[in-house]
Structure 1
């Protein structure tokens, strides 16, 4: 990984401190369990969604029980959302045992677990297992309006950020370029997170950048409020051929008005955002976490906490998953009637 993970503890930790749960004696401390969720950059969608989920599944020692208006998470669990470089970095950290779980694009998770695609020639992350599919991640190709970029082909010779090494965005950006007959050497490639790329675009030093995530993305929304942008479509025959070659891509649409100044619908591609873990994690723990993810209290937090939270529904929890379910998650989905 190119950057140390930064730990951002969820609201649940503060609740535990306020109730004295973190200082209630050795007995309670021994019962406490920590569960980290690797997300992405703070300007993206993974990070706020991770914070919401960490809050929802946490139930530190000393918290009031759910039926008394307290936490409805896993008893004794303190979950935290960590900012990271994204999908590839999260998978590597889970595989290396330095993270309990993380978010990853469906393509990255499948390649890693099977040792194919970008993982070909490297040891497969054979213990990688899914907790849930969360929501579709749209591929954003953001261009400065003054750059004149109207299509992927127009990127040739332009200053384009493909995102940081370790991110799923970089993987997909390379696929998009290749699918439109461009090599990475055909653009002036830079490797920045979207907030950094947006800063460069404001300064007139960046023509376009890729971002894969749920809309609206904070960095893009902020940029659009200060600088005239174009959301470049990824469509037509080239996009169809990409979907045919890589079935984990789906056709997608960013609705008009999602970002200031983008007045029409923009056709693009998407991949699934998935929550993954390791089979080394205990079955009962992951069962409890999966159950907490889909309770009514979590539903309220997701619906009110982020625009993409409303897309995280139990009915699509198994969509597009190309890796095995964790046994604890599998047990929950069977009990819930979603899996035979």
Structure 2
């Protein structure tokens, strides 16, 4: 369930041994050497389910920022990661779970929808009545996350309003998708009581939809999403538009949403679909060392990482330094802020 940076085979085995054993000494015994083991720094990136977009993007970024002892040499004139760092992409339930784990100290960082991060920091929205996560800090805005409402082919679902009485997966508790699915349902005059709700990740939801045991499911993430692509190819699906006055009300009530379009044939035999989106952001804790976050931010925005992102995933291409500060509604980590000031993105 983890993605590990681009490191040598012996080091990879050592890192895995160290993660399982929870001990740097295990790393030394697995072949990295005691001196090198002492220099290693671990940095976890909470992502989402393995069938979504967070997980592969997390793996790409983990590759980009990792540079443990004995790793690949640096290219001339460019960063190839943070010296001594082993970053891992950890599968999780998504935005809410990642923020909770960061606050609790079981993750150093994670991905979150921009709305969920804002609500967590301010103690509003889905975090209403809970303590504010006031140590939450931003590293970077990444890419737009599209709200997919995926329906079984021939289901007759043409609008979210048609979900009434249907078997619908809203994603797992702790996910940003569940938060946004509830917002969409409410905008169309529905609640969870008006549907037959299930709480599944997209791969499990796709299996049930293929078997005829589910009518539709929500997924919030960058397109193309692997689980939906596979389902469209093997069984056929329809994407339900989220448009009209209901969608306009969502945009008015929640400043984090934007209009979005899934281009035709992003998924096999699915036409252009109008919908809405939020931003995916990389967040961390104010307790994480400033020099480390500075190094990680610098490693994220360089030519070597650019190649990894461009070639690794369709959404990697839209992760750009010039949009790194877009839509951030929580404070930047001081280490990240230092980099952006040096880069001229903050005056």
TM-score normalised to structure 1 length? 0.95
Q: Name 2:332's counterpart in structure 1.
A: 325
Q: CA deviation at 1:70?
A: 10
The question of 1:218 aligning with 2:222 is answered no
Q: Name 2:256's counterpart in structure 1.
A: 248
Segments of 5+ residues of structure 1 without an aligned counterpart are 1-5
Q: CA deviation at 1:216?
A: 0.2
1:57-76 to structure 2, matched below 5 A, reads: 57-67=65-75, 72-76=80-84
Q: Name 1:339's counterpart in structure 2.
A: 346
Report runs of 4+ in structure 1 exceeding 4 Å deviation: 17-22, 68-71
The question of 1:268 aligning with 2:275 is answered yes
Q: Distance in 2 between matches of 1:291 and 1:105?
A: 22
Q: Distance in 1 between matches of 2:130 and 2:153?
A: 41
Given that residues 150 and 218 in structure 2 are in contact (C-alpha distance below 8 angstroms), is that contact kept between their aligned partners in structure 1? Answer: yes
> Structure 2 residue aligned with 1:291, among 272, 293, 298?
298
TM-score normalised to structure 2 length? 0.93
Q: Distance in 1 between matches of 2:291 and 2:11?
A: 22
Q: CA deviation at 1:28?
A: 1.9
> Structure 2 residue aligned with 1:56, among 34, 52, 64?
64
Q: Distance in 2 between matches of 1:84 and 1:19?
A: 23
1:301-312 to structure 2, matched below 5 A, reads: 301-312=308-319
Aligned residue for 2:86, secondary structure, equals strand
Q: CA deviation at 1:255?
A: 0.5
> Structure 2 residue aligned with 1:110, among 112, 115, 118?
118
Segments of 5+ residues of structure 2 without an aligned counterpart are 16-26
Q: Name 1:179's counterpart in structure 2.
A: 187
The question of 1:140 aligning with 2:148 is answered yes
Q: CA deviation at 1:64?
A: 4.0
1:159-238 to structure 2, matched below 5 A, reads: 159-238=167-246
Aligned length: 334
RMSD: 1.8
Q: CA deviation at 1:65?
A: 3.1
Aligned residue for 2:173, secondary structure, equals coil
